[in-house]
Each structure stands twice: as structure tokens, then as C-alpha cells.
């Protein structure tokens, strides 16, 4: 599938485990992962990313801000990608 439009999507993200964040290079969106319960005020639909283990895990990703150039229709996909990559980075850290 060399013509798939979302090929190499992992290369568009930068993971920084030191500050528990992941950045989407094309949009500049930063998703910070926090350990603990969900926020008291539920964020908008499509703006949460789970760390390893899914919703039962204690790592929750919440975007710092969503840049204007981010298409709201792609936000759920970006958050899913952020959660997958952050979980993989935690699993593979030394």
C-alpha cells in the first residue's frame, strides 16, 4: 500500500517521556499524559488518549491546546495515534 495517504504516520509525532508529552509535528498539537484519574470536568468528545492498558489504565492524554489548523474531524484519529505511540514508548523505554 505505498499510496495510502496516512503512510508513515508515526514519523509525524515526537514523543518526550521526560515531560510525559507527545507532539504532532504538522499541526503543533501537544498531548500531555498524566497519571491519575480522569479530570473532574469531562473534556470534549475525541480529545482523550489512553496510555497502555486502555481506559482502565491510569495514563490519560489531554491536548494542551488544539491549534486552529487542526481539522476537528481528524482529532479523534490524532488522539488515537498519540495514545498508541505513547503506550509503545512507555513499553519500549529502558
What integer pLDDT is reported at residue 12 of this predicted model? 92
What integer pLDDT is reported at residue 38 of this predicted model? 64
Q: What is the dihedral of CA 45, 66, 17, 33, to 10 degrees?
A: -30
Q: Are 61 and 31 contacting, i.e. CB atoms less than 8 angstroms apart?
A: yes
What integer pLDDT is reported at residue 13 of this predicted model? 93
78: helix, coil or strand? helix
Taking the whole predicted model, whether its pTM rises above 0.85 is answered as no
Cα distance between residue 78 and residue 10, in whole Å: 11
What integer pLDDT is reported at residue 70 of this predicted model? 72
- For residue 90 the three cell numbers come to 512507555
14: helix, coil or strand? strand
What integer pLDDT is reported at residue 14 of this predicted model? 95
**pLDDT tens for each residue of the chain, 94 residues long:** 566 667 788 899 999 999 989 999 988 888 888 776 666 666 665 666 666 655 555 567 777 777 777 777 888 888 888 888 988 888 887 6
Amino acid at each position: 500500500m505505498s499510496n495510502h495517504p496516512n503512510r508513515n504516520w508515526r514519523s509525524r509525532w515526537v514523543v518526550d517521556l521526560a515531560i510525559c508529552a507527545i507532539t504532532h509535528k504538522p499541526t503543533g498539537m501537544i498531548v500531555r499524559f498524566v497519571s491519575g484519574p480522569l479530570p473532574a470536568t469531562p473534556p470534549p468528545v475525541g480529545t482523550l488518549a489512553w496510555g497502555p492498558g486502555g481506559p482502565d489504565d491510569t495514563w490519560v492524554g489531554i491536548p494542551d491546546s488544539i491549534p486552529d489548523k487542526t481539522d476537528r474531524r481528524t482529532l479523534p484519529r490524532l488522539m488515537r495515534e498519540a495514545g498508541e505511540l505513547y503506550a509503545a514508548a512507555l513499553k519500549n523505554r529502558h
